[in-house]
Each structure stands twice: as structure tokens, then as C-alpha cells.
Chains A and B, each alone.
Chain A
Amino acid sequence: MAARRPDDVERSNFLTLGYLRPEVHRLIVKEKLRAFGWSSPDVIQIGDSSGFYGVNSDLVTSHLDGLHYVNLSCCAPMGFDGYYAVAHFMLRRDPSIKAVVLYIGAFNFVSTHPDVSFAEPLQNSFDSLRSYVMPPSLALREEILKAVYGPSRMPSANPELEHKLGFIRDHNGWLAEDDIRLSGKALDDYWRTQCGPERLIVWHDLDRRIFDKIAGLAALTAGYNAKLILMVQPLPCPFAGETFATAVRGLDRLRSVYPNLVVAPADVFFSLPTDMFSSFPHLRIGGEITNSQRVALAIAQALGRPVRQSGDARAGRESTFPIADRNTPLTWSDDRFSEPVWRTDGARIVRSGEETRITELNSLGRHGVGTKVERIEPDVPYIVSAVVKPDPNRVFWLEVLDTTQPDNYGRAFFDIDAQTSVRFGDAVDVDIETLPEGWFRCWLSMRFRGTSMTMNLLIGTKSALEYVGDGTSSIAIRKAALRPGARLNAND
């Protein structure tokens, strides 16, 4: 074994690297510390997934004149002790950090997260004496285990996860929201459960331990002459109850003890329309644009710095999020699904009046149809949609590939029965719209780097695109379309 000098992150024992055991959260935290631990940021963000998805580092940086912002948030299982460990790790390395943004979901005020499964490992690995005494050979642990397990059995052996980690590295720690998308009745039921039948959040039991945790972080940052800026994720429904006012008073008391503590906004809690959220703690993709501006403004005010308002241009076109509607002209559409325009893969096309049915064959492999669409504009988000009616024992997959750059792809599956959709790869947004007569419009949006793309409409299961077909399962399909936009808000 050649000797090599590992850095503090590589030599840590943080990843369990268990055989066949995925550990997405730990990989994200470790990747962030590895990528940004020595990047000399001016402002860092810690906290749970509400900030991980909800604050676009590049947008914040673009609004702050000359200040570099890094998003080190991940997930609630880190716990406040985990947030502390990350903050301390960064502050020790770069005492010139001017501010730490603690961006948390409002739920933290009523319950510390029941699962804080890796707060202690985080502390042990990055914020304790143990981290200094780990033997150097541990740095090679990942490579050795890759050789012993085989690369495909490592926790990180997942193309989608690799894709996400690459996105995180490229966007200073931010990850575009990718919750399972609910629609129709499933969505209604979800919000009824989360916000109550009246769609009004009423909380009664304030968990006062949060004040101790915030005080600890304020003391830590004060020791490094940095500000602690506390920001709470907006709530997805209107709210009521004494808990909120009590929390605000508690924070006011803390501010009087810790002059470096800034709470933005001062009244802490506010709500936004429900449709801006993908789940209770997460803003839906697109919502991070204004939210990031809000964060930048709070930082600028706390540090007495100017705010650059024209952030969109500086941040690049990634920050725009056009909404398509019934008036948006289609770039392309097809309702014939005939060869040779459409090629078949493990399927046969049967036309019956207005309806086209794609039926899977008894073969192993993919089952569906595909076509190529030319003359699209590069770097512009497009919505790819199909109106379908699949079999109950199958889900519908929509896949789009940049023809000139195969690593630029988007994929989503749509479980019509459960009214859920999940996106993968570079897909920006995804959803299911319910149409009359049992039809559904399934769409995903994506930005293509090239000028042509391939669209595949596939039958599959929730976990597999390639399998042995049964010869009978099928989807009925009415129309495939392409139009500019990042989100589709209306039927056409």
C-alpha cells in the first residue's frame, strides 16, 4: 500500500460502507465537506433538507456582492448536534467565515427530529478528538472495500446518486428538489394530513430544547466573530396557535443574550401558497429562486453589505423557471405514433380510432416507443408530455435524452393509480394532470444542451425499465408534445 496523506474528511470513519447498504445522507454530507471544506466560503448554510433544496447557493452568491456562499445543509437526521459539528468543522478551517445561516424547517419548533441517527457519528468523525487519531490507512478504506465488495455493491454505486453528488458539487451544495410528486387525490389527502382538514396548521407544544441548540450555535459562531442568521422555512398553509408567538418571544430573548444572533425575518414564521411546496418541508423546484433572494437579502442586511438585484442574469439561465400554460405554443406534437417516425422497442403499436395502444412483447428488455425531435433551442427548458392511460399493473415511464450528449438525460415514472411521479437525472420538474375520460397527462421538463433530443415512451414497473414482458400489458396513448417551459400549469 503506497503511503498517502489523507485529508480530515477522507480519514474520517463517517461512512459506514456497509455491504449493499445505501447511505445517501451520509454520502451527501461527506461529499459536501470534501468538496467545500477548503473552499474558503464567506457564508455557510447549515440545517435540514428545507434549506438543502430551498436555497440555491449560486443565486445567493450572485446577489451578494463578492461574497461566496456554500450550502452545507442536508437532512434532519443530522440533528442540531450534527449541524453544530459541520459548522465547527468549517469555522475551524476558515475562521474568516463571516456568517453561518441556520436554515431550518418550522417543524423543529415542535419536535426535535425523532431520527437523529447520524448526529453522533458526525460529531465523532468531524468534531471530536477521535477524528485526530484515526490511523492513515482508513483513508484507503473506501478503495479497499471497493476491491473487496466489488464496485457495484458499494453504497455509492448508484448512477442516480452519482448524478446528484455531481450536481451538488457543481452548485455549491444546492440540490434541486426531487421529492416524489403527488397529484390529484393523493395530493389532497397529503395536505389534509399535514395541515389538517381546514388547511390550517395549529401547533400547541413548543419544544424548548431548540433554544438551547440555537444558543449553542450562537455561542460557537460568536467565538469566531461570525453572525448566526436564523431563517425558518415558510409554512405551506396558514397557521395559528400560541406556539408561534411563544417561539418568537423565545428567540427575542436569545437575541438579547447573543448579539451576533440575527433572526430573519423578525417575526420568523410566514406562509406561502400550498402549491409552492412539494411536501411540507420542501419548496417545489422553482420556489428556491425567490427564496434564495430572501436569504441573500437577510445576509446582506446582517453584514451591512449591498445587495445586487439583477441576480438572474449573473446566475445564468438556470435560475429562470418559465411556467407554461394553455397559451404556450407547442414546439412539436404527434398523435399518430406511426413508424418510421416512431421506433418500437419490445412492443407493438395498435391503432384503434383515436386511441393508440402500445403493448409489451414477451421479450427481455425495454418495452415502448421512441422518436427523435430536432431543431430545439439549447439551454431552454422544455416540457415533454404524453397523454396516457396505462394498465393497472404497470407504470408509465417518460425518458428524454440529449441526442448529442448522452449524459444529459431526464427520466420519470408515473404511477397513475397512486398518483405519484418520480424524476431522475437532469429532469427539472414532473407531474401528472388528470384529464377527462380517464386520461392523464404525464410530463417532465428538462433543459437540453444540444439541439435535438430523443423521447421514449415506455411501459415499466416502479423499479425496472428492462424486464421480461408478459405480452399483454399495455398503455393507451393519445398525444405526445413538446413545448417550452419548466412547469406546465394548465391543460390544453
Chain B
Amino acid sequence: MTFNSYVFLFVFLPSVIAVYSLLRETRYVNWFLAAASLMFYGFAGPIYLVPLLFTCVFDYIIGQLIDPDRRNEYRKSLFILSLVVQLGLLATLKYAGWLAGVVNNVAPWFGLAVSLPALSLILPPGISFYTFHTISYTTDIYWGKFKPHNRLIDYVTFVAFFPQLVAGPIARASNLLPQLAAKRPPITWAQAESATWLICWGLYKKIVLADNFGQLTALIGDRLTPGDVQGGMGLLFAYAFAGQIYCDFSAYTDIARGVAKLFNVELIRNFATPYFAASPADFWRRWHISLWRLVRSYLYDPMVVRALRKRAARGLPISSEALSSPVPLLTVFVWPTLLTMSLLGLWHGAGFGFVVFGLYHGVLLVAYRVFHIEENIIRFLGRRLGTVVAIVLMFHLVCLGWILFRASDPQLFPAFASIGALMSGRVMEWPLLRDFGYGLILYGLPLFLTEPFAFRKGKEFVDLYDDWSWPAKTLAYIFVFYGIVMLGAREQSEFIYFRF
């Protein structure tokens, strides 16, 4: 059951809201929400409920046991056990098959006769997301930032809360659990209106923009063949996929936020006009914000702090000036950055392509920091023009990364070769450029119109709604409705991030 399905929009959601309204003030409200969430998730296959419930219950128990107030001498071991079990489960279900293949291929290089079985395990939807939910819970408890919650049903509701279960935003326990545990007042008309707009705009982005960009990406991808390198085809492929993945993922977040709002729950924003980033660091502050914050808090920052403490313990300087020389830069910044980004890439899927994607962004982060690229562009071209150039450059660097993310192995070389061909003056055949280019403009036009506006306001376009007059709101709804009815892709497709 996906957000853009008839069953969800016209059967499941209205039914859940209706029953929730009746139970809202009773102690059974979270029992109902948890049951509805499990039913939503179990629609994909009841078997998937097994790892979800195991993850929930296991980490709930661990959370109780590692509360600092308990002074349990095994706190650390239990916490590590939790990490090992949760990440182990994730790794087994998500990466075991791939890793077995890698080992089988690499072992002969070292003279080893190894033949691991080719595992083909079904990947539960959203396992990467709910695993991080539970890890954030136990980690925050272990660090003393959050108290364990004493009602299991509230905790299960937090982990399985259906708006954000399958594709985020990844909610920290400290943010979401108190909202779900508390008695929530009925939503106001303004909240209902805001929620409705979030859902409608999300559906528009998914059905009209993301799915059509997706079909365009597939069409262009079919032209990426080794025997026929058309100058610039890889760039169009990247543009199309950039549109698809942004609209697809941000649409999911918008709908998730809208649906959660109907239950008076606020989920965090996951995007902030990411294609207007002027540097890699800026990009990751705007793209999949919830994942970046989590990874930064739990992986990157601890590594950096640990490296700094090591230096300080050895009496070495830890000022910014001292850290700009090669060796400290390597240990305190480069190594944590590359490792974090590689793992972040790997989180997206089992494959070297994803690792390379993460590593690519890691290298960009390092390069921008070491060579002060953004600052130099602005210094050289002036604030206004420099910012524009920096944004355009960063967008294209992100697009190159999307090629690594999306292209299949046979498509990779033709994609990059076509960009090389374009740079040496060879352009693709005019009919292809005309047709693919027109498609990109057609589906990109709503983004060209809304994103700069939102960027200047420092918000997402969907969040500007509250400031509009009622004629503007009416026009917006008419635009969205007829856009979906006329231009919406007719074949329902899964949200991309369901696969992660």
C-alpha cells in the first residue's frame, strides 16, 4: 500500500482518521495507531512484520536495561549488543547476498577456494529507516540524552508510525516519542488545511513530476549504449534522474508530514531546496536532512571528537590552524568524512555503485574544504555572481553523483563518455535533444518556478502555503488537481526510497 494508491487515500487513511478521532482521548489510541501502522506495513507481506516487531521489542528491552539511572554494570555491553543485533539484522537482510558474491569473486585472487551460498533474502521495506529509529532510541538513552519510555505500546507506535515508517523522515526518539506518548488535542482547521496541502502537493510531485521524470530517465537510459555515444546524453540522464529522485523523495516526505499532521504529530522537514546548495556541506544540510543529522551525530562527530581527544592527549594542538596541515587534516577530517560518506552511500543499497556514490560525495566534501572552492569562487566573481556560479557548479557535481547512483553497469561508461564528447564539441542528434530536452523542461518547469522562490524565502515551497491568500490557495489546488488528472503518470510506481 503506497501513499499514492487509491486504497490508501480513499480507504485506509479516512478509516484510520475516523477511528482515531473516536479514540483520541482514550488510553487505547496508541494501541489503535500501532495496529493500523502494523496493518499498513503488513500489507506488503505479513512476514515483514517479524523483523519489525523483533527490532521494536528487542531495543525496547535494551533501552530499559541501559538507562544510566539503573547503573547496570553491563550497560556498555548491552548497548553494543543492541547495535550488533540491529545492524547485523540489517546487514544480513540487506547485504548478505551481495557480500557473499563479493567474497566469492575476490577469494580466488588470494588463492582461496571459497564458495559462499548465493543468499537471496527478501528485503523488508524500510528496514534501513526503522532500524535507525530504534538505534537512535538506544543511543540517546545510553548517552543520557533521553529517558527510556515505560509504555511499550507508545514505543511500538513510535517505531512503526505509518507515515514515516517506510521512507522517513528518520525521527529521533527525543522528538517523536514524546509527541506520540502525550495526549494530543484535536487538530485545528488551519492544521487540517496545512496537512491537506502537504498531501496534495506531495501527490502532485510524485504522480506528475517524479514518475514522469522517471519514465524520461528510463527512456534516456535506453540510449546510453556503448556503440552509440551521443554527446551530452549522460547529462540529460543526470538531469532527469535529479528531478526524479528529488521529487520522489521529497513527495514522500511531504505526504508523510501531511498525514502525520492529521494526527497532530509534527515530523521534521527532510529537504530545504537542496539543488540550491553552493557546496557539498551545504548540500547535505539540505538533502535528506534527517539521515544526515543522524549520521553526523552518531558517526561523524564521535569520530572527529575521538580524533581531537587523541591529539589533545598527546599534547598536539587542535586549533583550526593546526588542523589545516596535512596529517591532522587527514586524521581529524578526511578519514572520518570518507568513512562516513562511504557508509552513507552503502546505506542506500548493496552494491559498489552506492559505495562509490558515497565516496564521491566524501571526496567533494574534502576537496571543497581543502581548496576553499566556494569561498574562492565568490572571492573571484563577487558575492552575487559567485553564489550563482557556485550553485550551478554544485548542482552539476551532484548530477554526476546521480549518474553513479542510478546508472546500471553497462550505462556508466556511455554516460560519462557522452559528457566527455559534449565537452569536445559533439552534441547528440537534434531530434533526441529536442524531444528529451522538451520533456525535461516540461516537467522541470514547476520546479524552476517554485524552488527559487522557496530558496529566497529560506523554506520549502510546500511550507509557503500558510502565507498565501485564499485566491492563491484556490488556484494552487486547481493547478495540482488538473496537473494530476491530465499529466499524472498512469502507472503507479513505488517510491524510490522504499528500496533502502
Instruction: List residues of chain A with CB under 8 Å of any chain B CB.
Output: 13, 15-21, 121, 135, 137-138, 141, 144-145, 148-150, 153
Contacts and interface: CB of A to CB of B under 8 A. Distances in A.
A141 B485 contact: yes
Given A18-B490, A149-B442, A153-B438, 20 more contacts: A13-B490, A16-B491, A18-B212, A18-B489, A19-B212, A19-B216, A20-B219, A21-B215, A21-B219, A121-B490, A135-B485, A137-B482, A137-B485, A138-B485, A141-B486, A144-B486, A145-B486, A148-B487, A150-B438, A153-B439
A363 B212 CA distance: 38
B485 A17 contact: no
A145 B487 contact: yes
A47 to B, nearest CB: 24
Nearest to B212: A19
A16 B487 contact: no
Closest 7 pairs (CB-CB, A-B): A16-B490, A19-B439, A144-B486, A18-B215, A141-B486, A20-B219, A20-B435
Contacts of B487: 145, 148
Nearest to A141: B486
Interface string B399-425: 000000000000000000000000000
Nearest to A137: B485
B443 to A, nearest CB: 8
Given A13-B490, A153-B435, A19 B215 contact: yes
Contacts of A145: 486-487
A141 B483 CA distance: 11
Q: Classify the secondary structure of B's interface with A.
A: helix
A418 to B, nearest CB: 16
20 contacts: A15-B490, A18-B212, A18-B489, A18-B490, A18-B491, A19-B212, A19-B439, A19-B442, A20-B216, A20-B439, A21-B215, A137-B482, A137-B486, A141-B486, A144-B486, A145-B486, A145-B487, A148-B486, A149-B442, A153-B435
Nearest to B211: A18
B442 A148 contact: yes
Contacts of A153: 435, 438-439
Contacts of A16: 489-491
Interface string B460-500: 00000000000000000000001001110111000000000
Contacts of B439: 19-20, 153
Nearest to B490: A16
Interface string B429-464: 000000100110010000000000000000000000
A340 B491 CA distance: 56
Contacts of B442: 19, 148-149
B273 to A, nearest CB: 26
Interface of B: 212, 215-216, 219, 435, 438-439, 442, 482, 485-487, 489-491
A145 B212 CA distance: 13
Nearest to A145: B486
A121 B6 CA distance: 13
A13 B442 CA distance: 21
A137 to B, nearest CB: 7
A125 to B, nearest CB: 10
A64 B65 CA distance: 84
Interface centre among A19, A138, A141, A144 (most CB of B within 10 A): A19
Contacts of B219: 20-21
Contacts of A144: 486
B214 to A, nearest CB: 10
A138 B481 CA distance: 12
Nearest to A150: B438
B190 to A, nearest CB: 29
Contacts of A137: 482, 485-486
A13 B484 CA distance: 12
A29 B219 CA distance: 24
B212 A17 contact: no
B57 to A, nearest CB: 38
Interface centre among A16, A18, A121, A150 (most CB of B within 10 A): A18
A103 B489 CA distance: 33
A394 to B, nearest CB: 16
A18 B489 CA distance: 7
Contacts of B438: 149-150, 153
Contacts of A15: 490
Contacts of A135: 485
Contacts of B215: 18-19, 21
Contacts of A17: 490
A13 B486 CA distance: 10
A462 B487 CA distance: 33
A16 B212 CA distance: 11
Contacts of B489: 16, 18
Interface centre among A21, A121, A144 (most CB of B within 10 A): A21
Contacts of A141: 485-486
Nearest to B219: A20
Contacts of A21: 215, 219
A189 B442 CA distance: 46
Interface centre among B215, B442, B487 (most CB of A within 10 A): B487
A397 B36 CA distance: 63
Contacts of A150: 438
Interface centre among B216, B439, B482, B486 (most CB of A within 10 A): B486
Nearest to A15: B490
A15 B486 CA distance: 12
Contacts of B435: 20, 153
Contacts of B490: 13, 15-18, 121
A170 B435 CA distance: 33
B486 to A, nearest CB: 5
Nearest to B215: A18
B239 to A, nearest CB: 15
A18 B213 CA distance: 11
A145 B439 CA distance: 12
Contacts of A18: 212, 215, 489-491
Contacts of B485: 135, 137-138, 141
Contacts of B216: 19-20
A263 B487 CA distance: 45
A121 B489 CA distance: 13
A302 B227 CA distance: 57
A131 to B, nearest CB: 13
Contacts of B482: 137
A349 B304 CA distance: 77
Contacts of A121: 490
Nearest to B220: A20
Contacts of A19: 212, 215-216, 439, 442
A221 B73 CA distance: 76
B186 to A, nearest CB: 31
B251 to A, nearest CB: 18
A98 to B, nearest CB: 35
A6 to B, nearest CB: 14
B344 to A, nearest CB: 33
A263 B439 CA distance: 50
A20 B440 CA distance: 12
Nearest to A14: B490
A129 to B, nearest CB: 11
A450 B482 CA distance: 50
A141 B482 CA distance: 10
A20 B222 CA distance: 13
